[in-house]
Structure 1
């Protein structure tokens, strides 16, 4: 008797892929997609009767997505503070 392995949730895979892309090519969009699909994947995995695999991938996508989004916000704040400081300094010259 052979038992088929449970399928991996496709939203969990998408979350992990976009979490990685959030650190390389698509910082804001990749982070947002990773967060949304990660939460959707975890809720689908919890509700499914046969418990598909992929919860770890969904969590990894969520962590990468949240960190990518937070780092993008920090970088934006640093850039705005830098150029705001330059503008302030230039106004008194």
Structure 2
């Protein structure tokens, strides 16, 4: 009747904690850690054939990390394109205004 307790992957816990920290404190660094450790944890769990738990935590860390990295890239692209567009417009108007 007593079921043996399966240990939880430390990498899965690290992935989840880093994924949460990516949204709170360190967006890029913690999200990269969440993605890397999440993939490592899922690989470790698959290789253990059910001896280790934590696939859900690893998946949650992966999802949090990838979404946060995607948002960071989108924000950077927005600012580069927006400011680049403003610089191009200013250059165009400066040339057109002096003629």
Establish whether TM, by shorter chain, passes 0.5. Answer: yes
TM-score computed with the length of structure 1 as normaliser: 0.89
**What TM-score do the two structures reach when normalised by structure 2?**
0.84
String of CA shifts for 1:26-71, please: whole Å, max 9, x gaps: 1111111111100100111111155211000000001111101111
1:10 is matched with 10
Point out where structure 2 has 5 or more consecutive residues left out of the alignment.
95-99
Q: Give, in whole Å, the separation in 2 of the partners of 1:87 and 1:44.
A: 49
Q: Which residue of 1 aligns with 2:86?
A: 86
- For 2:6 and 2:88, locate their aligned partners in 1 and report how far apart those are by CA, in whole Å: 60
Partner residue, 2:33: 33
Tell me the equivalent position of 1:59: 59
Distance 2:82 2:61 in 1: 31
Q: Which residue of 2 aligns with 1:77?
A: 77
Structure number with bigger Rg? 2
The alignment of Structure 1 onto Structure 2 pairs a total of residues equal to 93
List, as ranges, runs of 4+ consecutive aligned residues in structure 1 with deviation greater than 6 Å: none
Match of 2:97 in 1: none
